[in-house]
Chain A
Amino acid sequence: MRFDRLVLQEQRHLKWRALDWLENLLMILCGIAISGFCLLVLGDIITRAIGRPWLWVQEATMTFFIYGIFSGVAAATRRNDHLYLAVLAESLSGNRRLFFEIFNRLVVLAVAFCMIYFGYLNFLDGFKSLRMPSMTPIATLYAAIPLCGALVALFIVEQVVNGWRNGFPDKPAEEQRIPL
């Protein structure tokens, strides 16, 4: 199986090919995260049943779970896969559409910067608390927030720059094959 197939080819005109590897990597991380915590929870059940429970399993499971969520959020931003209340902009055209598309992305970008800055403060603060039983600082989990914020910001900048240049509406299939 070729994992480069995990890059979504829709809205190709909003993506730089140079960042495809990153989307691919994030999708693989999503797969690893869910497989990882599936195996760990299964391992927990089995080891408990045979009377030799793994004490560290819950901690490891939560690590996979949290990193899986934040990897997925970053990937979903590039793939435009998030949950929406309404996609008002798609029914518009011309300058109006450009305004809505850019406005919406600027809001996400502002939130992403908050995730980076305030997430980083939490990360620093996280060195004061430890996770049991491994005694690892909780900062190892908090690190996922600024990392995710940075990736979301990167993908939003990619979409805004490409959308400004090429327009936001979906291109016909032929045009989508042109490398950007």
Chain B
Amino acid sequence: MTSNGTLIVLMGFLFLFLGYMGVPVAFALMASVIVVTMFTPVSQASMIAQLFNGMDVEALLAVPFFLLVGDLMTSANVTVRMIALSQTLVGHWRGGLAQVVTLFSMFFAGISGSSAADVAVLSRTLAPEMGREGYDKGFTAALIASAATMANLIPPSIMAVVYGATGNVSIGGLFLGGVVPGLVVGFGLMIYSHFFGPVGVKRMRATPAAIATATKAAAIPLMIPLIIMGGILTGKFTPTEAGVIAVAYIVLVVIPLLNFGHLKNLPRDMAMTGLLYSIPLITIGAASMFGWMLAYLRGPAMVSEWLSQLAGGDPFIIMLLLVGLFVIVGDFIDAIPAIIIFMPLIIDLTKNADINPVHMGVVIIVTLAFGLITPPYGLCLLMSAKFVGIKFSRAMLASLPIYLVFFGAIAFTIFFPEVVLWLPRKLLPQSVGCFANPNGSGYICP
């Protein structure tokens, strides 16, 4: 009988080998699990059922809605109003367009949960203008990719939805917990661009009247974050319902008011988003097969035991070790399968070290967001390099100094749980384990 360790290594090797040969991720995951299942008493039919069970989760319904929100906003070209607003606010700073990229990404992150949509918008709109103003193309690609990662931190975030749905952690808590690290990355990128980025073209400071006009023009799309978070925080909607309300708002209010002619393209947008959401979701199903088999082979338990021994039960060291693991994992596989595959390990370590599940979730999400700009599989950097029209290696070199911003954000998230959890504790106390005070008003938080 083959040992569990050998089977885990075989499964991991097969997945990476097939994946890097060019087999689609979902099929590479399924193929590796199907092969390994042959060496276990588990039936193949039950593994295929696991593919289905991995997707049959109600919370995952939010994924297509947040993709649809980003796609509709991009396709209807409504985002230009938010870019114009960013330009009036920070366009006159040193490295004006670089600052605009970051500020716009912060706005857009509050609307869309997808980094890919952010990269697509910025590459199409601001990258050509940055080229004309003499910004280095490597810097442009690196900055766009780095700024786009904020879509996974600032709510709504698809990574948070997947993490919450598979790890049974409050999605609302993860949304709120991601705000502070998202802002740390955003302000970090602005500071970096100010001191170390290209100077760009010096612009006049926008007049208060111009700022007011741009704010008014962008007000309708900027209502979307309020609708999403307002609905979740007041307890009126689940994240899935908040997503659909945001879609309805875009279809019934934003597009008719701001780009009426685009309504005729809605059926096409729906078909394209329908296709787009199936791709991450089949990967989620396949990753849950992989994760199930890994758990069956006691992989997470073995690693968890080993990491706990190494860390001696210290929660900060455990988080640092997990960050190290996810930096490596995030370099090779996509964030969503990584979350699902390693979820049993994360749950085990969170429980053993008595770490707040929302805090752990935010740490993992920030680390995986960083993985979107690291080689060889930095999805955002790959996309931005392709759109800007440069080699990946050039974009990667330009992004190296930006890694410091992410290291700072990850360290901040690990070592300042009180700051990270401040918003969830204030606005959604139950999400972080607080309970109503039996002797009076307010909540008691552990």
A-side interface residues toward B, CB under 8 Å? 1, 3, 5-6, 27-35, 37-38, 41-42, 44-45, 58, 61-62, 65-66, 68-73, 75-76, 79, 81-90, 100-101, 103-104, 107-108, 110-111, 114-115, 118-119, 121-122, 125, 141-142, 145
Contact = CB atoms under 8 A, between A and B. Distances in A.
Given A45-B245, A115-B48, A31 B270 contact: yes
Nearest to A37: B61
B86 interface: no
Given A72-B274, A75-B275, A76-B278, A1 B265 contact: yes
Contacts of A85: 16, 19-20, 25, 28, 332-334, 377
Contacts of A84: 19, 22, 24-25
Contacts of B25: 82-85
A29 B44 CA distance: 29
A104 B274 contact: no
A107 B265 CA distance: 37
B52 A38 contact: no
A75 B277 CA distance: 12
B23 A108 contact: yes
Interface stretch (B170-178, B215-223, B280-288, B362-370): B280-288
26 contacts: A1-B264, A1-B267, A3-B267, A31-B271, A38-B244, A44-B241, A65-B60, A69-B277, A70-B282, A71-B278, A72-B275, A85-B20, A86-B21, A86-B22, A89-B21, A89-B22, A107-B28, A107-B31, A114-B34, A114-B44, A118-B48, A119-B48, A121-B45, A141-B56, A142-B49, A145-B48
Given A66-B56, A85-B333, A107 B27 contact: yes
Nearest to B14: A107
Contacts of B333: 85
Contacts of A72: 274-279, 281-282
Contacts of A3: 267
B274 A111 contact: no
Contacts of A79: 275
Contacts of B237: 45
A42 B248 contact: yes
A82 B237 CA distance: 32
Contact of A83 (B34, B56, B279): B279
Contacts of A90: 22
Given A30-B275, A86-B19, A41 B244 contact: yes
Given A5-B268, A73-B282, A104-B23, A34 B68 contact: yes
Interface of A, secondary structure class, is: helix
B286 to A, nearest CB: 9
Interface of B, secondary structure class, is: helix
Given A41-B244, A72-B278, A72-B279, A122 B26 contact: no
A66 B282 CA distance: 10
A142 B48 CA distance: 10
A10 to B, nearest CB: 14
Given A1-B265, A72-B279, A34 B273 contact: yes
Given A27-B272, A68-B278, A69-B285, 11 more contacts: A31-B274, A45-B245, A61-B61, A62-B56, A69-B278, A83-B25, A84-B24, A84-B25, A101-B22, A104-B21, A118-B48
B43 to A, nearest CB: 8
B2 to A, nearest CB: 20
A62 B58 contact: yes
Nearest to B285: A69
B65 interface: yes
Contacts of A88: 20-22
B274 A68 contact: yes
B393 to A, nearest CB: 14
Contacts of A37: 61, 64
Nearest to B270: A31
B232 interface: no
Contacts of B285: 69
A85 B279 CA distance: 13
B323 interface: no
Given A62-B58, A72-B274, A141 B52 contact: yes
Contact of A86 (B20, B65, B245, B280): B20
A83 B18 CA distance: 13
Closest CB pairs A-B (n = 5):
A72-B278, A30-B274, A82-B24, A31-B271, A85-B19
Contact of B270 (A35, A83, A86): A35
A83 B26 contact: yes
B268 A108 contact: no
B345 interface: no
Interface in B29-43: 30-31, 34
Contacts of A89: 21-22
A84 B279 CA distance: 10
Contacts of B52: 66, 122, 141-142, 145
